[in-house]
Amino acid sequence: MRRSITRLISVISITLLPFSSAGAQDEYVIRRLDGPVQLDGISNEPAWQAIEPLPLVMQQPTYGVPPSERTEIRIGYDEEFLYLAGNMYDDPSGVQGPSLKRDELNNFNDYFGIILDSFNDNENALCFFTTPAGVRVDFTIFNDAQAPTPDAMPINDSWDTFWDVAVITNDEGWFAEIRIPISSLRFDDVDGRVVMGLIAWRWIARKAELSIFPAFEAAYGPLSGFKPSMARKVVFEEMYSRKPLYITPYLLGGSGFTNELNDAETEYEHTGMNPREAGLDIKYGLTNNLTLDLTLNTDFAQVEADDQQVNLTRFSLFFPEKRRFFQERSSAFDVSLGGPNRIFYSRRIGLHEGKQIPILSGARLVGRIGKWDVGAINMQTDRSEELPSENFGVLRLRRQLFNPNSYLGGIVTSRTGRDGSYNITYGVDGIFRIYGDDYFLLNWAQTFEDGGINTFSSLDPSRFRIAWEKRNMDGFAYDASFSYSGPDYDPGIGFQTRDDYFSIRNSIGYGWVPGEDSPLFRHGVSLNSMAFMRNADGKVESAEVGPVWGGSTRNSAIFNIFLKTYFEDLIEPFELSDDIEIPIGSYSFHGVEAFYQTPAGRLYSLMTNLTAGGFYDGSRVSITLVPNMSMSPQVGLSGFYQLSRIDFPDRDQRFTSHIGRLRLLLTLSTTFSTLAFVQYSSASDLFIGNIRLRYNPREGNDLYLVYNEGINLDRFREVPSLPYNSDRTLMLKYAYTFVF
């Protein structure tokens, strides 16, 4: 199965048969409310009492037993709203809701809510949760909660929509009601009959206990409880979608300055800024499941600054998209090529080398037409000093084939400049569930651009990947992939870490669930390997191999230990800093990496990571600490510190870097918050401050006050000497959404 592409294709041809997902059972009919309910947190109305609670079972720490605390979750709907009621009986002294921050997703809050696969596609879902403090937490799940890389989460917590919640706490526990406008959902209805996937759950933080409906085991890793493919199919009768019109104008004003090096590189020029801007966003439901977004003079002043990173590789760093315009069903545009590599990367629009480029206008269409998932984007940017005015276009189509967990799709992207430059990329991707939890993945892409040879029959502007993976972590687990990237492959609005290579990745392992008497909830061992070869000479460019042991404890602590052997072949020097360069040559070295996260549910948590061992012709030690503390419902504090020290004794060179981040969150209420975010990087001797005040009395009504400042700590490390301030801005932005 692993040794031959032909064998893989033949297996597909004979085994791609229709079947139900592992979580699918007989359809569960959701009752329509037969009377009014008041959103007050108490579900004591006759309409609620006529609805039976969902049959929850514990998923962790002990699967299949009743919840340790009495829990009643009910779901109902009327013409305008989907309602969810939760009665979380408990000792009030043990109830934990220490945060008031919108979208605060962590393990030390108690939670109650639902995961809704509104399109019933077994891959994507909308999530609505609340806490004992009445915080609204909404986000989306994509790729069936399957992480593309160990450090990448298939969760988009920047997504927000319109909904309400009411919570009360008394001597019996805490009680909540959630009200979601049907207009905030997108779904297929056939004469008023709607089928969705539903997961409902309650999290008790102090016990690290998850109770869930429907019943399924945590066999897919830490995000097992979020998998849309395991959701119960539920039916809503006489539910019809709404098509509201949202119009959101904004006003922005402020002042600031930048100091940038002139073209002659002789001095820094001080440029003042006094922006006075206005813009408009429009959202309209063209059909029951197709949404159009329009934007004019788009602004992202309220977006939090990117995390500073130290790059110890010779490849590009990947940063997540945080801008709200690109969030709704963003997974519809995702064509992953393995790891962070993808055909479409929205941060290539309106951003260039860390600087914003004005977006003049744009349109975004996303949803479903018949059996096809559809996504389209067209954006126009203004010209900048480095780039001409450009137009960006994306068209994405995807549909289910063979069975509920298999898909075939295509994408086309275009990037054209007023100067005549262009880049066209097309791609085809498929995910095929073969049997059980075994999946076959296929990608093909080609790029064409001005000045290129642009030959369809050539592999030079092409990239492809085939992969086989088992997603269940119980018992034997395995995956294998082969990738190729030609020397001329260059996705104009995509992301690519390496160029001109082919690679092989393999992993085989075994996982155990020890049982109630063990302190371990789940653990497993595996042997992982990967190798990247240059197309030009077929020689290995990079490789690593080694075993890993990891898992989680019954109180939800997480641990991993890696042992690795590395090989790197440099055909050109690798510059680690201005003073240190790794020479051309072949290098073999060994290392160890360990990760530990303290048990869930505590008001203080700590994630730690240690990497040590060889590094080319030297040695490396890197320590990362990520503390998180909830000091009170109004005050939260989190930090990040990373120390990296690299020594090259034979060359009497060493490199030491420090990165520090500190976030202080002050939340006077669930509608008013202040976030102070400061960062320090010794590699760039830069201090960055970002302070955001937000008043959000309801969804769509936002007032932001944003302050940014960059300070050069070592002004005399370069010639000409750096200015004290690299930049400073103070912005006030107000946006109000009119709903029609």
> Does residue 24 have a pLDDT over 60?
no
pLDDT of residue 207: 93
* pLDDT tens readout for residues 105-132: 888 899 999 999 998 999 999 999 999 9
Interstrand relation of 232-236 and 28-29 (parallel, antiparallel or unpaired): parallel
* pLDDT tens readout for residues 319-378: 777 777 887 778 788 888 888 899 999 989 998 887 888 899 999 999 888 889 999 999
Interstrand relation of 372-381 and 164-170 (parallel, antiparallel or unpaired): unpaired
* pLDDT tens readout for residues 81-102: 999 999 999 999 999 988 888 8
For residue 310, name the pLDDT band (cuts at 50, 70, 90). Answer: low
pLDDT above 70 covers a percentage of the chain that reads 94
| Alpha helices for 509-665 (secondary structure H) | none
Assign 3-class secondary structure to 129-142: EECCCCCEEEEEEC
- CB atoms inside a 10 Å sphere around CB 1: 12
Tokens of residue 546, six digits: 């080694």
pLDDT of residue 138: 94
Q: Which residues contact 70 (CB under 8 A, 6 or more apart)?
A: 87, 89
> Does residue 15 have a pLDDT over 70?
no
CATH code, domain carrying 173: 2.60.40.1190
Task: Answer whether residue 182 is part of any domain.
Answer: yes
pLDDT of residue 17: 36
Task: Answer whether residue 349 is part of any domain.
Answer: no
Contact present, 113 and 103 (Cβ < 8 Å) = no
pLDDT of residue 154: 85
Tokens of residue 672, six digits: 């008013």
What is the enclosing helix (H) or strand (E) of 48? Answer: helix 46-49
Task: Answer whether residue 164 is part of any domain.
Answer: yes
> Does residue 57 have a pLDDT over 90?
yes
Specify the amino acid at residue 380: Q
CA distance 143 to 243: 27
CA distance 437 to 629: 38
CA distance 233 to 163: 23
For residue 4, name the pLDDT band (cuts at 50, 70, 90). Answer: very low
* pLDDT tens readout for residues 380-392: 999 988 899 999 9
pLDDT of residue 149: 60
Which of the two residues, 222 and 444, has the higher pLDDT score? 444
pLDDT of residue 399: 93
> Does residue 288 have a pLDDT over 80?
no
Contact present, 584 and 570 (Cβ < 8 Å) = yes
For residue 2, name the pLDDT band (cuts at 50, 70, 90). Answer: very low
Q: What is the mean predicted confidence (pLDDT) over 530-554? A: 95
Number of domains the chain contains? 1
pLDDT of residue 308: 66
* CA distances (Å), origin 470, targets 507, 509, 635: 10, 11, 43
pTM for the structure as a whole: 0.84
> Does residue 469 have a pLDDT over 70?
yes
- CB atoms inside a 10 Å sphere around CB 461: 22
For residue 12, name the pLDDT band (cuts at 50, 70, 90). Answer: very low
3-class DSSP assignment, residue 14: helix
Lowest mean pLDDT segment, chosen from 175-189, 310-324, 418-432: 310-324
Is residue 418 exposed (0-12), middle (13-18) or buried (19+ Cβ within 10 Å)? exposed
3-class DSSP assignment, residue 205: helix
3-class DSSP assignment, residue 151: coil
Task: Answer whether residue 141 is part of any domain.
Answer: yes
> Does residue 7 have a pLDDT over 80?
no
Specify the amino acid at residue 13: S
Tokens of residue 463, six digits: 């990239």
Task: Answer whether residue 202 is part of any domain.
Answer: yes
Contact present, 223 and 147 (Cβ < 8 Å) = yes
Task: Answer whether residue 4 is part of any domain.
Answer: no
Q: What is the mean pLDDT of the chain?
A: 89
Lowest mean pLDDT segment, chosen from 54-63, 486-495, 499-508, 693-702: 693-702
Q: Which sign, positive or negative, has the C-alpha torsion 185, 186, 187, 189? A: positive
DSSP label at residue 270 = E
Contact present, 296 and 279 (Cβ < 8 Å) = yes
Query: DSSP assignment of 80-104, as one string?
Result: SEEEEEEEEE--GGG-------TT-
CA distance 448 to 155: 32
What is the enclosing helix (H) or strand (E) of 464? Answer: strand 462-470
Contact present, 636 and 101 (Cβ < 8 Å) = yes
Tokens of residue 538, six digits: 């077929």
Among residues 223, 159, 199, which one has the least CA distance to residue 21? 199
Question: Domain containing 51: what range?
Answer: 31-236
Cα angle value 443/448/454 (rounded, 5°): 105
Which of the two residues, 439 and 157, has the higher pLDDT score? 439
- CB atoms inside a 10 Å sphere around CB 477: 20
pLDDT of residue 225: 92
* pLDDT tens readout for residues 629-659: 887 888 889 999 999 999 999 988 998 999 9
DSSP label at residue 283 = E
Task: Answer whether residue 25 is part of any domain.
Answer: no
CA distance 262 to 280: 35
pLDDT of residue 22: 42
Contact present, 302 and 734 (Cβ < 8 Å) = no
Specify the amino acid at residue 677: F
> Does residue 491 have a pLDDT over 90?
yes
pLDDT of residue 305: 64
Phi-psi category of 711—alpha, beta or left, where left has phi over 0 and alpha has psi -120 to 50? beta
pLDDT of residue 164: 94
> Does residue 219 have a pLDDT over 90?
no
